[in-house]
Amino acid sequence: MRLVSLVSSGIDSPVATYLLSKYAEEIILVHADNRPFTDDREIEKFITLARYLKNLLPSKLTARLIPHGQTLQAYKAQCDNKYTCVICKRMMLRYAETIAEKEQADAIIMGDSLGQVASQTLRNIRVVEEAIQLPILRPLIGFDKEETIQIARKIGTFDLSIAPAEVCGAVPLKPSTQARLEQIYAEEQKIKIDELIQYAITHVKTVTL
């Protein structure tokens, strides 16, 4: 089985990738480069985590860096900012699905844990996953944060994940926790989704691990 994993530089997604690695012959790590809303340290954290996971996991591992800053700028300029996190997750899933289809991958891994952040309420999870057709695997969905941290410490990713980096500056002060699909459709009509996806996919970088 071949999987695509959406990996941030945080605690959850490396653990989710670890938990599903025993089922996958190959995992393609995909990281959204949010600069200028983050800094270079955030990218360095991802690369460090990816290299660590390559040595840790039984699966063949490759990594891709996909530019997402231009898309975030479009949201901030044209959309209701309270929906930024939901629209952002939907777009990242579209990137991942496009890569998965090209690489003939079977599913996408996400590090979601129910209720941990605004985009992970049950309603928002439903709205986010509607953006694509491929199955989404969420091994942490019923974990609380402490359970995930315990695994991260055990496998050695925790200290890498908490290294200093600039927090994403696109996150709104009051993100929507109960988005409705019709609202998101209306917001997405304000931006050129297909063009943004095409730009991002065209400029994907393969990370040397």
**Measured between alpha carbons, how far is 116 from 61 in angstroms, rounded to an integer?**
27
The two structure tokens encoding residue 102: 């090209």
Residue boundaries of the structural domains of the chain: 2-207
Please tell me the predicted confidence (pLDDT) of residue 123.
Answer: 93
What is the DSSP secondary-structure string of the chain?
A: -EEEEE--SSSHHHHHHHHHGGG-SEEEEEEEE-TTSS-HHHHHHHHHHHHHHHHH-SSEEEEEEEE-HHHHHHHHHHS-GGGHHHHHHHHHHHHHHHHHHHHT--EEE----TTSSGGGSHHHHHHHHTT-SS-EE-TTTT--HHHHHHHHHHHT-HHHHTS--PPPTT--SS--SS--HHHHHHHHTTS-HHHHHHHHHHT-EEEP-
- CATH number for 2-207 (one of 3.40.50.300, 3.30.360.10, 2.60.200.20, 3.40.50.620): it is 3.40.50.620
Mean pLDDT of 10-16: 98
Q: What is the pLDDT of residues 128-166, one digit of tens each?
A: 999 999 999 999 999 999 999 999 999 999 999 999 999
Considering the entire predicted model, what is its pTM? 0.96
